[in-house]
Amino acid sequence: MSKTAGTIIKLVIALTLILIITAGWWLFYPHDIYPASIYVESGDQFYQVMRKLKDREVVKTPWLFSKVGIIIGLDRKVIPGRYDFNRRVSNFGVMRKFWRSDIAYETMTIPEGYNLKQIGTLLHQRNGTSREIFDSLVRDSSYLAGLGIEAGFGEGYLFPETYRFEWGVSASDAIEAMVQQLFLKIDQVLLARCDSMGYSLHQLLTMASIVEMEGLQHDEFGTIASVYRNRYRIGMKLQADPTVIYGMGGLDRDLLIKDYQFPSEYNTYLHEGLPPTPICSPGMTAMRTALYPDSTEYLYFVADGKGRHIFNTTYQQHLKDTRKIKKELKGR
């Protein structure tokens, strides 16, 4: 081997080592960043993802990162979602996060008594779910029928529970998870009880939703349920304030006398029987007490201003207690 050839080989080896070291440093050495979240939307192209990484300074050499990503097929692995990055991150760490589809998840609790409007807002705020698509789907009778909901409206069927959704969860995936949870909770024993009470599942959810919104304390749910069961059984109007409020689209004030004449199919002061749909998503306590109400003869109740209710069998005594409570509240 000539001296010139040996020199060339040594130079190639040196350059190769330098290239390997440089590539290793570029790939594995972490750099400091501000904690950042990258939101990949459905339909984003890889160059758009790169732009977001560059804008948040997660990637310092986006042109090189992009080339390497395309070579290894990373551009075909990125799925929609939120990707969180800590204070120090390497290019390898960024690639691995995308390769593993390591999207962020949010634990979200749907409180008992939330209605569709509130659930849609919470999903949007916590998970970035489209409010418009959510609102459309919960009113899409064909879509709902595919989930086993024949009412044509999703109110009451999204079970209040704690869920773990990936950020950006689609409205349909969220709705389906909550409806599935409801049907898991409604077992054959409860369905048999529905039959014996003369309720369909839809009627049960509707009655339970009223109990849920009227009840201030869980230990009163059974008594409240008995009042509405007694009224329903004898053909008396349910006269439930929460149904009036729901029919008015919600209120941030107390009901006025004139509100009881508000023309709504949900106004149970004007219409006999149950409203056309539930008015919220009831929890299991409300559902069970609607199916197993206390055995009472109560037909009336009024909030005592202290977080509980006073129950009565006669309208005369109900009026007397109502006047007494109003007087006490005025005195305070």
pLDDT of residue 18: 78
pLDDT of residue 11: 75
pLDDT of residue 305: 84
- Measured between alpha carbons, how far is 120 from 150 in angstroms, rounded to an integer? 21
- Measured between alpha carbons, how far is 286 from 44 in angstroms, rounded to an integer? 44
Instruction: State the DSSP code for 163.
Output: E
Q: Do the beta carbons of residue 285 and residue 213 sit within 8 Å? A: no
- Measured between alpha carbons, how far is 65 from 197 in angstroms, rounded to an integer? 65
Identify each DSSP E strand in the chain by its residue range: 31-32, 36-40, 81-85, 88-89, 105-109, 162-166, 300-303, 309-312
- Measured between alpha carbons, how far is 321 from 55 in angstroms, rounded to an integer? 65
Listed residue (105, 50, 97, 51) closest to 77, CA to CA: 97
Which domains are assigned to the chain? 27-99 (3.30.1490.480), 105-185 (3.30.1490), 188-298 (no CATH)
What is the pTM assigned to this prediction? 0.81
pLDDT of residue 20: 80
Phi, psi of 80 (to 5 degrees): -60, 150
Listed residue (277, 287, 291) closest to 182, CA to CA: 287
- Measured between alpha carbons, how far is 114 from 125 in angstroms, rounded to an integer? 15
**pLDDT < 50 regions, the chain:** none
| Neighbouring-strand partners of residue 165 | 106
Q: Do the beta carbons of residue 106 and residue 82 sit within 8 Å? A: no
